Structures are given as structure tokens and as C-alpha cells.
């Protein structure tokens, strides 16, 4: 019988008889005043809180409406009032507008030849300048990737923003455990572990479904060393793979020992297990960071 | 704590559902907690802890029927009671994490009968509660490993371990019962 079939048998069994799992008396118990008050008071306070919130929203809406009316009044009604205040003012306005047109005409004619020339020159110079700029950017990216490759000690490039400096700005939290016990990490180690873990996950070519058995998984979760990386404040991690695909996960955990390495990708409610046993160096390096 | 829990409700109807569940189940939960703690205030604390857990997972529990919710609450209140019991004894409850034996109990079943399902369920009831509970939360309440971990306040790895051990034990019991090969 396969695991799936056995799971299905259990499911059918508990679905059929599960309501008898635990039977306790439902005799009325006289709960203490402390308990009763705690519940009723908290629910009531929450409702009052909701009413307060509604009142606040209404007040803010009214205030916003007054402000909008005020702005409309200033921008539309005031000029209209000025225009209707006398014919001399209107005449002054017309004169000033005419003067402005004259000025703009003269500037247009004098500058038009110059502008055309400079635009032509700029058009010739721009591609060269952009090329040079692009070369610099590409150079920077290459440098960053090189430095990450050096850090990782493998040829896995780090995909997120192509820069190790961007790791902290993305906001990661890394925890590491040795034989089940959490170990302290300084900023530098945190950053380097993040580079390694995400670098590995990003390269889908090294990930393959493993025949990892539950026993082995238990072994690694209990006795193996592990590092877990997750977004700060429970924010999801978006991981871009080398092949261009992206996926989002709550956290990435790698469990390993000196001989074997398994990659456990915990994503939402799913746990996928991949074997990356060829990555002995990577395991050793990770181990050296969390020691 | 309750304020935090109640803040997690999206709307008034959720809050009303919560109150209904609370009123319908609190006595049963209290008796379960009291059977472990033998102390009224502590039993009430365990009940309130469980309702906080319920509120936190209300999104998922909204889809459950009343039997599933009752099982969930009984399991969480028992778990909360054991936590209180252990803290009272100033002992930290630690998971027995070492595998004592290999899983060699592969079974083969020719016909799946009512009798077999009933026998299997009575075996689940006979399991140590920490293993029976994960089976019930997984297959009866239909929770994911992560949700079980949150409900029982253990790690996901421990959930997997308990599930594995529970299934291994069930296979052995089934084999021993002669209901399968």
C-alpha cells in the first residue's frame, strides 16, 4: 500500500468516525467572574472601538469635503471675482498677455536656429554617451556578480538585483541551527549565508526531485545543521531564477550535514524537497559560517 | 491577548461566529482542561489560550463544520493544558526526537471495508495523544502542516515527525490486528 493510499484510508476513517474522537462532558460549568468579564468586556470594547473608528472616518470625510470646497473656492471663484470687479482690470490683463506673446515670439525666433543645431549635435553625441553609460552599468553588474561568485565559492550567481549590497535593503532574517540548537550570527555571516542560500535556490538547474524518505528528512531536521532565511516581518521572499522564472515563498530552509545536502523549500503550505548532494563544498562553507 | 485575537476578525459576522463557537464549546473544553489540570483557574486559562489560537486561525476554521471545530478545540485545549501543567512543574516539554526504529511496516490491503476503517479509527484513538492529535488535525480538520504547527505551537518539522511516527504505528497495529497483510 502506498503512502498516498494509506493517507486516503486514514482520511476516510476519520471522516466517518472522527466526531467520536474525544468525548467530554458538556455539562454547564460556572466560569469565574474574571473569565466571564474578560470575554464580555473585550468583545464589548472591540465593538465600541469599531464605533469610534466609524466616527473618526466620518469626521475625516467631512474635513476632507470642507478642504476640497475651500480649494475650489480659492482657485475658481476668486479669479472670477477679480475679473468681474472692473473693465480697467480686464484691459490690464489683456495688455499683459499681449506683451508676453511678443516676448515669447522674439525668443522663439532668435533661439530656433540655435536649438535646431544643438539638437542635431546632441542627437549625434547621445548614443555614444549612452553606450559608455551602459558599459559602466554592465561593468558594475559583472563586478558584483564576480564578487558574489567569490563569496559563494561556486558558480551560482546571485539573482536579486545582482548586488550583494541589496540583500539588507530587501530585508532578510536568517536563523541557523547546529544539531537543532540556534546559533548566533553576526551581520557579515547573515549576509553571506543569504547569498549562498538564495543563490542556490535561484538556480533551478541544480534542483531535482529527490527520493528523500521521511526517515531521512527526520534525521536532517533533528540532527542536521540547518539555516533558514525569511523576509523581515513575515514579508514574502520573491526569488528570481536564472531561467527567468519567479516564485514567492515564505522561507527557505536548507538542512545539511558534511556528507549530504538536502534543500527544503517551504513555500506556503507546501514543502518541496530537492537533493543537491553534489554541493559538498557549499555544505562545508555553510557549516563554517554557522560554527 | 484577547484584543489581539479579536482584531484578527475581518467582519462582524466572524465575530458573531466566534462568540457562537465560544458559547457552544467552552464547557466541554473546560472539562477537558480540568481533567488534566485539576485546577479551575488554570483550566480556564487553558480555555482562553485555545480561543486565542482559534481566533488566529479563524480564516481556515471558517470552512470547518462544527464537528471539526470541536475536535480542533479539544486538541488545542488539551495541548494548552499540558503546556500549563509542564510550566507548573517547571519542566520544559521537549519532543522525543530520536527515531527508535525503522519503518518496516509496509502493509497490503485487499478490500477496504467499513470494519477496517472503524478498526483504524479505534487505533488512532489508542495512539499516544500527541500522535493521534496530529492525525486528527491533518485528516479530520484538514489542516496543513504549518497550521497544525501553529495550533500545537510546535515546529513544522515536529509535525512531520509526529505524523510519520503516527502512521508507522498505525501500520504496525493494522498488521498486528490481522486485518491486512
Same domain, B5 and B62: yes
Same domain, B131 and B112: yes
**CA B120, CA A153: separation in Å to the nearest integer?**
52
Q: Which residue has the higher pLDDT, B42 or B10?
A: B42
Is A89 inside any structural domain? Answer: no
Same domain, A78 and A180: no
- Structural domain boundaries enclosing B138: 94-181
Give the CATH number, domain containing residue B174.
1.10.10.10
Condensed to tens digits (0 to 9), the pLDDT of residues B36-63 reads: 888 888 888 888 888 877 777 777 777 7
Residue at a domain's end among B65, B93, B121 = B93
- Could you tell me the three cell numbers for A50? 469599531
pTM over 0.80: no
**CA A166, CA A146: separation in Å to the nearest integer?**
15
With a cut of 50, say whether residue A103 has pLDDT above it.
no
Same domain, B70 and B16: yes
Is A261 inside any structural domain? Answer: yes
- Structural domain boundaries enclosing A261: 166-290
Residue at a domain's end among B93, B118, B153 = B93
Contact A237, A268 (CB under 8 A): no
B136 touches A: beta carbon within 8 Å: yes
Same domain, B123 and B89: no
Q: Do B120 and A13 touch (CB under 8 A)?
A: yes
Same domain, B29 and B103: no
Q: Which residue has the higher pLDDT, A187 or B109?
A: A187
Q: Do B15 and A43 touch (CB under 8 A)?
A: yes
- Measured between CA atoms, how close is B89 to chain A, in angstroms? 23
Across the interface, of B19, B32, B167, the residue whose CB is closest to A24 is B32
Q: Which of A79-83, A128-132, A245-249 has the highest mean pLDDT?
A: A245-249
- Measured between CA atoms, how close is B83 to chain A, in angstroms? 19
Count of structural domains, chain A? 2
pLDDT at residue B57, as a whole number: 72
Q: What angle do CA B91, B96, B98 make, to 5 degrees?
A: 145
Count of structural domains, chain B? 2
**CA A69, CA A84: separation in Å to the nearest integer?**
21
| Angle between helix B145-152 and B40-56 (nearest 10) | 150
Give the CATH number, domain containing residue A180.
3.30.1490
- Can you tell me the mean pLDDT for A74-99? 50
A27 touches B: beta carbon within 8 Å: yes
Mean pLDDT score across all residues of chain A: 61
Same domain, A171 and A277: yes
Give the CATH number, domain containing residue B88.
1.10.1740
With a cut of 70, say whether residue B156 has pLDDT above it.
yes
With a cut of 60, say whether residue B22 has pLDDT above it.
yes
Residue at a domain's end among B93, B127, B142 = B93
Same domain, A180 and A66: no
Is A51 inside any structural domain? Answer: yes
Same domain, B114 and B174: yes
Residue at a domain's end among A83, A102, A123 = A83
pLDDT at residue A55, as a whole number: 74
With a cut of 50, say whether residue A236 has pLDDT above it.
yes
Q: Do A32 and B41 touch (CB under 8 A)?
A: yes
- Measured between CA atoms, how close is A253 to chain B, in angstroms? 11
Show the 3-state SS of A66-113: HHHHHHHHHHHHHHHHHHCCCHHHHHHHHHHHHHHHHHHHHHHHHHHH
pLDDT at residue B10, as a whole number: 58
Same domain, B58 and B143: no
Q: What is the DSSP letter of B11?
A: S
Q: Over the Cα atoms of chain B, what is R_g?
A: 18
Which pLDDT band, with edges at 50, 70 and 90, does A16 fall under? Answer: confident
Helices (H), B38-155: 40-56, 58-61, 66-88, 114-126, 129-135, 145-152
Same domain, B76 and B147: no
A to B CB pairs, distance under 8 Å: 146
Q: Do A16 and B147 touch (CB under 8 A)?
A: no
Condensed to tens digits (0 to 9), the pLDDT of residues A132-189 reads: 444 443 333 333 333 333 333 332 333 333 333 333 434 667 777 766 667 777 777 7
**CA A267, CA A241: separation in Å to the nearest integer?**
15
Residue at a domain's end among A27, A59, A83 = A83
Amino acid at each position: 500500500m502506498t503512502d498516498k493510499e494509506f493517507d486516503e484510508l486514514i482520511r476516510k476513517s476519520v471522516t466517518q468516525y472522527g466526531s467520536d474522537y474525544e468525548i467530554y462532558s458538556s455539562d454547564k460549568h460556572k466560569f469565574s467572574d474574571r473569565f466571564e468579564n474578560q470575554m464580555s468586556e473585550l468583545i464589548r470594547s472591540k465593538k465600541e472601538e469599531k464605533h469610534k473608528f466609524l466616527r473618526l472616518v466620518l469626521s475625516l470625510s467631512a474635513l476632507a469635503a470642507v478642504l476640497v470646497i475651500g480649494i475650489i473656492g480659492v482657485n475658481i471663484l476668486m479669479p472670477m471675482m477679480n475679473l468681474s470687479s472692473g473693465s480697467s482690470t480686464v484691459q490690464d490683463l489683456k495688455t499683459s498677455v499681449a506683451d508676453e506673446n511678443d516676448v515669447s515670439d522674439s525668443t522663439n525666433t532668435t533661439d530656433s536656429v540655435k536649438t535646431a543645431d544643438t539638437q542635431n549635435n546632441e542627437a549625434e553625441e547621445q548614443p555614444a554617451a549612452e553606450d559608455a553609460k551602459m558599459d559602466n552599468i554592465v561593468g558594475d553588474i559583472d563586478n558584483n556578480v564576480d564578487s558574489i561568485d567569490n563569496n559563494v565559492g561556486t558558480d551560482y550567481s546571485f539573482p536579486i538585483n545582482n548586488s550583494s549590497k541589496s540583500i539588507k535593503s530587501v530585508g532578510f532574517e536568517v536563523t541557523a541551527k547546529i544539531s537543532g540548537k540556534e546559533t548566533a550570527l553576526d551581520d557579515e555571516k547573515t549576509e553571506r549565508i543569504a547569498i549562498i542560500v538564495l543563490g542556490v535556490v535561484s538556480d533551478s538547474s541544480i534542483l531535482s526531485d529527490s527520493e528523500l524518505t521521511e526517515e531521512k528528512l527526520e534525521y536532517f531536521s533533528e540532527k542536521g545543521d540547518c539555516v533558514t532565511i525569511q523576509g523581515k516581518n513575515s514579508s514574502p521572499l520573491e526569488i528570481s531564477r536564472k531561467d527567468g522564472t519567479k516564485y514567492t515563498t515564505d522561507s527557505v530552509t536548507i538542512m545539511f550535514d558534511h556528507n549530504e545536502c538536502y534543500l527544503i523549500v517551504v513555500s506556503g503550505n507546501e514543502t518541496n524537497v530537492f537533493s543537491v548532494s553534489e554541493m559538498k563544498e557549499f555544505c562545508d562553507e555553510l557549516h563554517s559560517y554557522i560554527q | 491577548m484577547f484584543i489581539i485575537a479579536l482584531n484578527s476578525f475581518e467582519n462582524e459576522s466572524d465575530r458573531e461566529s466566534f462568540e457562537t463557537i465560544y458559547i457552544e464549546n467552552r464547557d466541554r473544553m473546560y472539562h477537558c482542561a480540568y481533567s488534566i489540570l485539576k485546577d479551575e483557574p488554570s483550566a480556564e486559562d487553558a480555555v482562553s489560550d485555545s480561543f486565542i489560537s482559534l481566533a488566529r486561525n479563524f480564516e481556515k476554521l471558517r470552512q470547518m463544520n462544527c464537528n471539526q471545530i470541536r475536535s480542533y478545540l479539544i486538541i488545542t485545549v488539551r495541548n494548552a493544558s499540558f503546556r500549563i501543567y509542564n510550566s507548573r512543574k517547571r519542566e520544559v516539554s521537549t519532543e522525543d526526537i530520536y527515531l527508535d526504529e525503522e519503518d518496516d511496516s509496509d502493509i497490503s490491503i485487499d478490500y477496504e471495508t467499513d470494519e477496517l476503517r472503524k478498526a483504524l479509527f479505534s487505533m488512532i484513538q489508542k495512539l499516544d495523544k500527541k500522535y493521534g492529535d496530529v492525525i486528527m488535525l491533518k485528516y479530520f480538520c484538514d489542516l496543513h502542516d504549518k497550521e497544525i504547527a501553529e495550533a500545537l505551537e510546535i515546529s513544522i518539522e515536529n509535525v512531520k515527525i509526529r505524523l510519520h511516527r503516527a502512521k508507522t504505528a498505525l501500520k504496525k497495529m493494522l498488521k498486528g490486528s490481522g486485518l491486512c497483510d
